[in-house]
Structure 1
Amino acid sequence: MSRRNLRADAEKFEFQAEVSRLMDIIINSLYSNKDIFLRELISNASDALDKIRFLALTDKEVLGEGDNAKLEIQIKLDKEKKILSIRDRGIGMTKEDLIKNLGTIAKSGTSAFVEKMQSSGDLNLIGQFGVGFYSVYLVADYVEVISKHNDDKQYVWESKADGAFAISEDTWNEPLGRGTEIRLHLRDEAQEYLDEFKLKDLVKKYSEFINFPIYLWASKEVDVEVPADDDESSDDEEEKSDSSSSEEEEVDADKDEEEKKPKTKTIKETTYEWELLNDMKAIWLRNPKEVTDEEYTKFYHSLAKDFGEEKPMAWSHFTAEGDVEFKAVLFVPPKAPHDLYESYYNSNKSNLKLYVRRVFISDEFDELLPKYLSFLKGLVDSDTLPLNVSREMLQQHSSLKTIKKKLIRKALDMIRKLAEEDPDEATEKKDVEESKENDEKKGQYTKFWNEFGKSIKLGIIEDATNRNRLAKLLRFETSKSDGKLTSLDQYISRMKSGQKDIFYITGSSKEQLEKSPFLERLTKKNFEVIFFTDPVDEYLMQYLMDYEDKKFQNVSKEGLKLGKEPKDKELKESFKELTKWWKGVLAVENVDDVKISNRLADTPCVVVTSKYGWSANMERIMQSQTLSDASKQAYMKGKRVLEINPRHPIIKELRERVVKDAEVILFPLCITLFVLIALCYHDLPYGVVA
């Protein structure tokens, strides 16, 4: 119930029918996001301040003098009367403005708005149709609006949202000078908004970057010296009289001094003062050349609620112009959150805040950046998006795709620049001037890669449009990188003359891969091989087929080409009987072919997989998954091919024996080979027959 009735002597009006419908929806329906009422009122106050500031550009007298010239917003609480007040020194409203602005909705889209609210109950839409003020009835059952315009007297608008409102000339409240004060008589279930900390959080969340200062009349406990009670003074004197006689002479002089001073004590006292709530400036509105690194770091800590000492690794501050205009600041955090890749495909978490004309709208618009860039923190402020759009409407908004495209481009440029500025990332060896700046940048991209490298790989998998840009950001170790990370461009710069393919191998660790027989001939021929040791690399290489006109070649699969050798045809012919016989023996063991290997030097034989199926490493990854279904995965398994080393003594001996009498060695040899093949494919690293 209301805490008071409308004034009897006030002039009564009826709300426009649509306003009554709107308030009925707000008051009688349950909504989870009541907090937005404060955002709406502060936004309206900011608009009023903007209007008077604009008029003051041509007529400075409209601002007045003293406090009236202060363009600010003030929030005050009366816990006893349960009233929350928001005051601005903006343009104010005349009596006619109060009737027009608060009693009717002169907007063509109002009916559509009311229907939308009735069907979906999405309060985030409030404000888009100029009806933000009515959100006050989410938390209040009686509202007073006191307003003073330079061209009119001070008036009070009041309503209980019961279909009527009243307007009176204000002769009892404190003169405002100019501007508007809104008093909300809070509902019993909305008493949480009498909590100073709650209001501070709401202003920080929604209105931190409003152009005008926002103050809260906040309580504060201070230590105050007050006269001590007589009883306490006498107690002190008794304690002093009990001291030993030997000390009396020394104390007498000091005692006389102390008696001359008034006796005091320290107590806690509650005082009130105006506390500024939005001291963080909207640096994205400034020229990037004028913002210092310290200001960017401070802004990042405030935005990300990360108050550690570490700086963000990189940032990008830019303005996009054209069909869609917006300003944005993006940051690369110094560390990845521990849960970055947990529930990756089921999470809609985003670290990007959306503002419209410096008013916070939401941080749940995961459509602004793809998932693989969700680790970035920052904000987007657009003047062209409609204010207070809902998440569902934003998905349909024509500007969204343009904003997203530009954000991705700028984000990848920022990461690329981070790599280029790292002295360790130089493609060619050059003398780098030692300086403090270089020292700070040294190893920065390696740090980035260790924290967020998996995100770049996921981007290559998910984002076909930017796949080549993302591939430039890939880092890995190779057989020639001496434990350091290298890039595809660096790999290509070191390729041998005539080398057409980029060689790589996948596995569980670098140490394991370095011992792999698949590298034997490659190493002897001085080819460089990339080591991919992350499980996601197997998926990555299914999408990254080529780079800069170079094809990728998995050296653990069939079809490896190292260039033709003069004796290749002769070798195949001389081992034809052995490969034919061996293929027949292994036909029942799921081995499809036996071939002469061009990749082995010291190992007798290996089992490789077909070019377009899973590698042995991928099969192990899939089999290790808890809910793995072998029957459904069978079609992805690559065909097995046994490759034999024609230079190995064992293989040469087998060839001689098969030529002499295949039947004599068939039974014992088959048993041995079956065991070896089983071991080589399922247990030993990469199908190696040791």
Structure 2
Amino acid sequence: MLFEDMGRLMRAELDRFEKEKVEDFKSGVETFLESADLVNNLGTIARSGTKQFMEALTAGADISMIGQFGVGFYSAYLVADRVTVISKHNDDEQYIWESSAGGTFSIRPDTEGEQLGRGTKIILHLKDEQTEYLNEAKIKEVIKKHSEFISYPIYLHVLKETEKEVPDEEAEETAADEDDDKKPKIEEVKETSIEQEELNKQKPIWTRNPQDITQEEYAAFYKSLSNDWEDHLGNIKLGIHEDSQNRQTLAKLLRFNSTKSGDDMTSLTDYIARMPEVQQNIYYITGESLKAVTKSPFLDSLKQKNFEVLFLVDPIDEYAMTQMKEFEGKKLVDITKDFELEETDEEKAQRETEEKEYEGLAKALKEVLGDKVEKVVVSHKLGDAPCAIRTGQFGWSANMERIMKAQALRDTSMSSYMSSKKTFEISPKSSIVQELKRKVEADGANDRTVKSIVQLLFETSLLVSGFTIEEPAGFSERIHKLVQIGLNIEEDDSKTEETPATAATTTETGDSAMEEVD
């Protein structure tokens, strides 16, 4: 490895063929040394706390904080058993200073080695147990930790080998003699090249007047310092989940998309400022993606009331919201779970009337679905969507259930009691539900058509509500049968040919073709 300082520039070169040493080359106004400088500055063991450092090193003290001794140069002996310094001053010869940290050093003119012209090269002959410092990643780590904010650039030069395909000249000559039509042979050769990378692009802004620093420079400094600039909200949300003391303070930094924010994101404070007077809670919906939640049937009734809904699509969002519970006195409510929606006296009277009117249908649907749902209710929280499935307040939402199922080492015992019982909600405003009500009243809950329709409605509600279907093959089969009916396709042409009487009977019967979707 080689460090080079050309005036105000340093270069670090990693040479994988030099497995026993690290080199540091400096060539600048302040980095060349005369022979007297080598003696006075490097050869005086007690200078600048060096003696104190060496005594502590011998005694086995904690020397991880090298700066406490006022030592820089002699920290090299932490990783090297011998250090060589080659320096050339404009007004002097090129000299070699060398020491093994044994209290002695040697200085001699350098007439045979590579002539530097001007500058200083430091060579560290690494200890056997410190060869990790020949690793490119380790060099980057050290420079980032100790020299990232040095005011002049540090470049890492790494010698690397690459394989390149070139025509095999000898094989080509042989092939030309034998057959001119044969393709030329290719051989792979290794080429060495030096790759350069600047390691300290960010400059120390704290040494400058704050008024002279632009917003772009502040942003660049934050990027370099935190490595968290593309999407820093994840760490803020993690802080809300883990840091109860600063939870409300961190919550002010949160940003979410919402039904009113468009392409921008909104804060909880701005959300509260836009709330209508009748709205008491902060509403949010969880899901896998923005595209999924923006089309959710759970939004219909809140949009009609002009209530804004936050979109939580980051897996950590629900963890954070569950820990917060409220913000500035406003309760945080997940609309995919059971909740009480604010309503006027007129809306309450209408809801009670509809619940009585559709009570029979709800009982019939519960009879068909059985243990698949805890209950079937007539909902005033849905719009034109015929139905949806909500979970209880204290269990997992559909989104959380999806996240937990994706964890390979999840606690299966927790899933049994945290997976909430599902509530199947039907909307009296939906024409499908209205027609289904008439069908049930006419034919009863045990009618094949009713059962088929209810099963399809339940499975589609699972999907649109964020759940997964336990038997996707059965669901797809029912959909395919619906397609066949819509296209007037016989279920099985071969069977139709063999039993025409059966087909005629099916055509003549007054029952709906939907009965076949079972």
- TM-score w.r.t. the length of structure 2 is 0.54
Aligned mate of 1:375, from 221, 228, 239: 228
Distance 1:484 1:74, change over 3 A: closer
2:398 pairs with 1:616: yes
1: distance between equivalents of 2:123 and 2:262? 71
Distance 1:679 1:101, change over 3 A: same
2:85 pairs with 1:128: no
2: distance between equivalents of 1:478 and 1:101? 65
Could you say what secondary structure the match of 1:468 adopts? helix
One-letter amino acid matched to 1:683? L
One-letter amino acid matched to 1:287? N
Task: State the partner residue of 2:296.
Answer: 516
Task: State the partner residue of 2:446.
Answer: 666
What are the within-5 Å matches in structure 2 for residues 362-441 of structure 1? 374-375=227-228
8 Å contact 1:75–1:86 — kept in the other structure? no
1: distance between equivalents of 2:386 and 2:412? 31
Task: State the partner residue of 2:31.
Answer: 74
Could you say what secondary structure the match of 1:600 adopts? coil
> Where does the alignment leave 5 or more consecutive residues of structure 2 unmatched?
1-18, 88-96, 110-118, 132-138, 154-199, 469-474, 480-518
> Where does the alignment leave 5 or more consecutive residues of structure 1 unmatched?
1-31, 43-71, 78-84, 118-122, 147-156, 173-180, 193-199, 215-277, 297-310, 316-329, 334-350, 353-372, 377-447
One-letter amino acid matched to 1:128? Q
Distance 1:670 1:633, change over 3 A: farther
Task: State the partner residue of 1:114.
Answer: 59
8 Å contact 2:368–2:454 — kept in the other structure? no
2: distance between equivalents of 1:546 and 1:101? 61
2: distance between equivalents of 1:541 and 1:621? 15
Could you say what secondary structure the match of 2:60 adopts? helix
1: distance between equivalents of 2:310 and 2:122? 67
2:284 pairs with 1:507: no
What are the within-5 Å matches in structure 2 for residues 56-75 of structure 1? 73-75=30-32
2:274 pairs with 1:494: yes
Alignment RMSD (CA, Å): 5.6
Task: State the partner residue of 1:398.
Answer: none
Task: State the partner residue of 2:374.
Answer: 592
8 Å contact 2:388–2:465 — kept in the other structure? no
Post-superposition shift, 1:581? 5.0
1: distance between equivalents of 2:48 and 2:240? 53
Could you say what secondary structure the match of 1:603 adopts? coil
Task: State the partner residue of 2:260.
Answer: 480
One-letter amino acid matched to 2:370? A
Distance 1:575 1:281, change over 3 A: closer
One-letter amino acid matched to 1:497? E
1: distance between equivalents of 2:291 and 2:127? 64
2: distance between equivalents of 1:526 and 1:487? 18
One-letter amino acid matched to 1:375? D
One-letter amino acid matched to 1:114? A
Could you say what secondary structure the match of 1:128 adopts? helix
**Once the two structures are superposed, what CA deviation does each residue of 1:201-241 show, in whole Å capped at 9, x if it has no partner?**
99998568779x99xxxxxxxxxxxxxxxxxxxxxxxxxxx
Post-superposition shift, 1:623? 4.3
Could you say what secondary structure the match of 2:278 adopts? coil
Distance 1:643 1:158, change over 3 A: closer
8 Å contact 1:517–1:600 — kept in the other structure? yes
Post-superposition shift, 1:592? 0.9
8 Å contact 1:679–1:687 — kept in the other structure? no
Task: State the partner residue of 2:506.
Answer: none
Task: Tell me the percent identity.
Answer: 35
One-letter amino acid matched to 2:427? N
8 Å contact 1:594–1:642 — kept in the other structure? yes
2:490 pairs with 1:637: no
Distance 1:579 1:38, change over 3 A: same
- TM-score w.r.t. the length of structure 1 is 0.42
Distance 1:33 1:646, change over 3 A: farther
What are the within-5 Å matches in structure 2 for residues 214-293 of structure 1? 283-289=205-211, 291-293=212-214
8 Å contact 1:504–1:532 — kept in the other structure? yes
1: distance between equivalents of 2:314 and 2:237? 10
Aligned mate of 1:531, from 298, 306, 311: 311
Aligned mate of 1:331, from 202, 221, 229: 221
8 Å contact 1:142–1:160 — kept in the other structure? yes
**Once the two structures are superposed, what CA deviation does each residue of 1:106-149 show, in whole Å capped at 9, x if it has no partner?**
58x956873356xxxxx744453566664454546478999xxx
Could you say what secondary structure the match of 2:343 adopts? coil
2: distance between equivalents of 1:534 and 1:279? 32
Post-superposition shift, 1:603? 2.7
2: distance between equivalents of 1:551 and 1:569? 26
Post-superposition shift, 1:597? 0.9
Post-superposition shift, 1:551? 1.4
Distance 1:587 1:465, change over 3 A: same
8 Å contact 2:31–2:120 — kept in the other structure? no
8 Å contact 2:337–2:393 — kept in the other structure? yes
Could you say what secondary structure the match of 1:331 adopts? helix
Post-superposition shift, 1:511? 4.5
8 Å contact 1:553–1:560 — kept in the other structure? no
1: distance between equivalents of 2:292 and 2:50? 76
Post-superposition shift, 1:74? 2.2
Distance 1:683 1:145, change over 3 A: closer
8 Å contact 2:21–2:126 — kept in the other structure? no
2: distance between equivalents of 1:595 and 1:623? 27
Distance 1:646 1:142, change over 3 A: closer
Distance 1:623 1:285, change over 3 A: same
Post-superposition shift, 1:474? 2.9
2: distance between equivalents of 1:541 and 1:492? 16
8 Å contact 1:607–1:680 — kept in the other structure? no
Post-superposition shift, 1:501? 0.9
Distance 1:603 1:144, change over 3 A: closer
2: distance between equivalents of 1:110 and 1:182? 28
